[in-house]
Amino acid sequence: MTDQTALIPNPVAQAADRTNARKVFIKTYGCQMNVYDSVRMGDALASEGYVTTDTAEDADLVLLNTCHIREKAADKVYSALGRLRDMKKERNAEGRELMIGVTGCVAQAEGEEILRRSSAVDVVIGPQTYHRLPQALKRARQGERVVDTDYAVEDKFEHLPVPDKKVIRSRGVTSFLTVQEGCDKFCTFCVVPYTRGSEVSRPLAQILDEANKLVDAGVREITLLGQNVNAWHGTGLDGSSWGLGDLLYRLAEIPGLARLRYTTSHPRDMDDRLIEAHRDLRALMPYLHLPVQAGSDRVLKAMNRRHTAEEYVRLIERIRAARPDIALSGDFIVGFPGETDAEFEDTLKLVETVRYAQSFSFKYSTRPGTPGAELGSQVAEEVKAERLERLQALLLKQQHEFAESCVGKVIDILLEKPGRMPEQLIGRSPWLQSVNVDAKSSQIGDIISVRIVGTGPNSLFAERIER
């Protein structure tokens, strides 16, 4: 899944402005699923009387919801814990409480080691047990330093409280919805199977119930989440076995749900039914994040990707035949152990062949506990840096070319938030781009027709039109 660092907005504080309420600040590192998990942790804590705040300085509880995909992400967590330790000392000297928790994938991977390295941490909670966070905090207040990283036997989603309409509405007109967790692919560079566990699909009834509640509260676009989202499977309404394509067809029937997206996918799980959904469903946006990681067959085999570069390219051709206007996004790793100059050139050739509208690219980072960490022939850092610079230059060029190709097009955008200028709103194109438009007669949540008139570094500019 794509990397990002986010601060979870204040979804609950407006619903309960209580002077005596405890306040929680949640900082999120990593993927979209961590963003979703942070929101659900906020829901669980709201039922215990917590309200969220936008600053650590204002909080009684600080949670770091962590990512372990790359080494630097884990380093950021320990750096943040150092700053929080000093803040906690100041609070204690004033006779005030500050509790600190680490959740997410670093918590799952390192567990007790976090307590050893940071004396300020009170609780460590893995991604499968965050529904037990309120109980862990109660134990911590009694003097226990709590580590809960077991894979929960119970279904955490059944134990999480459902926020009311007002809270959901305060979060905006788009929403994430987790449908699948974990991964069974065991790519040799990846820690996800060890931190998130094996692939688990949420039952259809749970997904439909949550989706209906979101739409009933005003959500117009839902993005389905999973570490390997297109591996989702379940028992359908007719008793047959369903895959993600079937699920998308059913979700598209929900009145008021205008847009659907999903991420992140694996090429091996792009089946015919899912490709048909891209062809048939107007609500399914023409944007697909489909990581390939490398263009060399030898490197792909060493990564345990279980597909070749040619198979990936042929798959893209099938998807584009079904949905010609689809935009592609991908993930790339340069400098995997043993990667030669010629093999890196294979990656550049694949990028030239596929052509990406967006992308995420990184230098290979050794993750302890993964098979890749045991491989020899590590590529020198300066070589990785030079390769990454070349790859990113090509990907950025393609991104800009795709944006330029949108100029003059008439498209529909979903208005999501205010812009910087008076009467300006920011919407989202079908291809996930931010679009700035003067929309004084519209409001957030509207889907309007616009003509793209220009491009910026990371967004488009448009004028409203009437169809």
Rg from Cα positions in the chain: 23
Q: How far apart are CA 69 and CA 31, in angstroms?
A: 9
Q: What is the DSSP letter of 284?
A: B
Q: Which residues are annotated as a binding site?
A: 31, 67, 105, 183, 187, 190
∠ Cα 330 8 396 (to 5°): 25
DSSP 317-332: HHHHHH-TT-EEEEEE
Q: Which residues are annotated as a binding site for [4Fe-4S] cluster?
A: 31, 67, 105, 183, 187, 190
The residues near 270 (Cβ < 8 Å, ≥ 6 apart) are 230, 290, 315, 319
Crossing angle for the helix pair 272-280 and 309-322, nearest 10 degrees? 30
Other Cβ atoms less than 10 A from the Cβ of 85: the count is 15
Q: How far apart are CA 330 and CA 290, in angstroms?
A: 5
3-state secondary structure of 411: strand
Q: How far apart are CA 389 and CA 20, in angstroms?
A: 52
Query: Comparing C-alpha atoms, which of 4, 67, 70 is closest to residue 368?
Result: 70
| Amino acid at residue number 20 | N
| Amino acid at residue number 392 | Q
Contact 7, 35 (CB under 8 A): no
b/e burial code for range 219-253 (CB count within 10 A of at least 16 → b)? bbbbbbbbbbbbbbbbeeeeeeebbbbbbbbbbbe
